[in-house]
Structure 1
Amino acid sequence: MKLILLGPPGAGKGTQAVRLAEKHRIPQLSTGEMLRAAADAGTPVGIKAKALMDAGALVPDDIVVGIVADRIEEPDAKNGFILDGFPRTTAQAVALDEMLAQKGMRLDAVIEFVVDESILLSRIEKRVAETIAAGGKVRPDDNAESFKTRLQAYRTQTAPLSDYYRKSGDLRPIDAMKPIDAVSREIDELLAAVSA
């Protein structure tokens, strides 16, 4: 099962990716997490990526595509993977399709999380409050200003992916405003239909 989760920040992609990864025993490949791991490790790419991410900016395509290409070769991804946060642009989608084709792979579905953007900021604020209450570490980009920057970047750069994947026949929209369990059920039904 090779999936892309598409939608604006705060839409619930990360939550659903964890559930899908457990259910299908495939890794959730969050480019954000891969880049943060590189930043934490202090690699040259990681240091450059950290400065961009902290400012709410996007990391250059060549860095992200290279990280993804290497990661899907690892043994835990042999039965598939979930891409969360990649591709972010049509150029990345084209590069991903080309890379997958070179590896003899193809996406099974692109799940688009359709949300009411006016509610997303309150979702982010709730996530921050819950993380703090649980004693967790809040991501540096989980604040109102970075969120607004990320949402604007999503609108201008990532939203056009809907058309790209609609044309390829891979786009599967879901109502991500439903409760978490209802969204999970809708995704399960969608994937059952795709696999049939």
Structure 2
Amino acid sequence: MNVVLFGPPGAGKGTQAKELSQKYDIPHISTGDILRANVREGTELGLKAKEYMDKGELVPDQVLIGLIKDRLEEPDCANGYLLDGYPRTIPQADALDDILKEISKPLDVVVNIDVSDEELIGRLSGRRMCKCGESYHIMFNSPKEEGVCNACGGQLYQRDDDREDVIRQRLVVYSEKTKPLIDYYEEKELLVNIAGNGTVNEVFEAISEIMDRYK
């Protein structure tokens, strides 16, 4: 089954994608992971992407879709894939559509995790990170000692993009640039909306119920 997992920042796409990937034995494909892997491996497209990343610029769609095409043609995608974080704009969606037709791997469904802005702000602004990679939440997953990582004892910090003012701006950008994709995929009769305000398990079960239709 070929799936795009869609939703605003803080909707829980990454968490859900990881669990869904294991359940359905299809790869979780994140554009960020693809970029980092290609830069690390020094591929031709990875080197092109690095030129832009080193200058703090966005990687052009043409380079990014090339990376995604290469990834979708790898053997572990033979039985399907779960795209997370792409597409984000209508031009990207058009480019993805062309690529999927070319490699005969069209989308089965686009799952949109729908969460209210206030819920998202609460989730993201409460997040705390550690340099070792562990993450916590002051309400839902607090460390044993306030401000200290359980795993390594390091000092926890709040990412700059998790401040409330920055979150609100991120949501404005999402609404302007990415939300139009909801209409795009609705017109193609691919979109299914899932309420994302429940627990992680509740959202997981709701998405699984949808994906079971395409097994």
Shorter-chain TM-score bucket reads 0.7 to 0.9
Q: Paired residue for 1:13?
A: 13
Residues 116-195 of structure 1: pairs in structure 2 closer than 5 A: 116-129=116-129, 131=135, 133=149, 134-135=151-152, 142-144=161-163, 147-192=167-212, 194-195=213-214
Deviation at residue 78 of structure 1 after TM alignment? 1.1
Q: Paired residue for 1:48?
A: 52
Alignment partner of 1:33: what SS? helix
Task: Name the TM-score, length of structure 1 as normaliser.
Answer: 0.84
Between the aligned partners of 1:113 and 1:50, the Cα distance in structure 2 is 32
Output the amino acid matched with 1:175.
A
* Cα distance change on mapping 1:167 and 1:141 into 2, 3 Å: farther
Task: Name the TM-score, length of structure 2 as normaliser.
Answer: 0.77
Q: Do 2:119 and 2:197's aligned partners in 1 also have CA atoms closer than 8 Å?
A: no
Alignment partner of 2:126: what SS? helix
* Cα distance change on mapping 1:8 and 1:59 into 2, 3 Å: farther
Alignment gaps of 5+ in structure 2: 137-148
Higher relative contact order (CA 8 A, sep 6+): 1
Q: Paired residue for 2:76?
A: 76
Between the aligned partners of 2:21 and 2:35, the Cα distance in structure 1 is 19
Alignment partner of 2:209: what SS? helix
Q: Do 1:131 and 1:138's aligned partners in 2 also have CA atoms closer than 8 Å?
A: no
* Cα distance change on mapping 1:154 and 1:52 into 2, 3 Å: farther
* Cα distance change on mapping 1:10 and 1:168 into 2, 3 Å: same
Q: Do 1:90 and 1:164's aligned partners in 2 also have CA atoms closer than 8 Å?
A: yes
* Cα distance change on mapping 1:101 and 1:141 into 2, 3 Å: farther
Q: Which has the larger radius of gyration?
A: 2
Between the aligned partners of 2:88 and 2:115, the Cα distance in structure 1 is 17
Between the aligned partners of 2:84 and 2:171, the Cα distance in structure 1 is 16
Q: Do 1:36 and 1:46's aligned partners in 2 also have CA atoms closer than 8 Å?
A: no
As a proportion of its length, which structure holds more helix? 1
Between the aligned partners of 1:122 and 1:41, the Cα distance in structure 2 is 37
Q: Which moved more, 1:117-126 or 1:97-106?
A: 117-126
* Cα distance change on mapping 1:52 and 1:166 into 2, 3 Å: farther
**What number of residue pairs does the alignment pair up?**
191
Alignment gaps of 5+ in structure 1: none
Q: Do 1:35 and 1:49's aligned partners in 2 also have CA atoms closer than 8 Å?
A: no
RMSD between aligned residues: 2.8
Between the aligned partners of 2:33 and 2:157, the Cα distance in structure 1 is 13
Q: Do 1:39 and 1:50's aligned partners in 2 also have CA atoms closer than 8 Å?
A: no
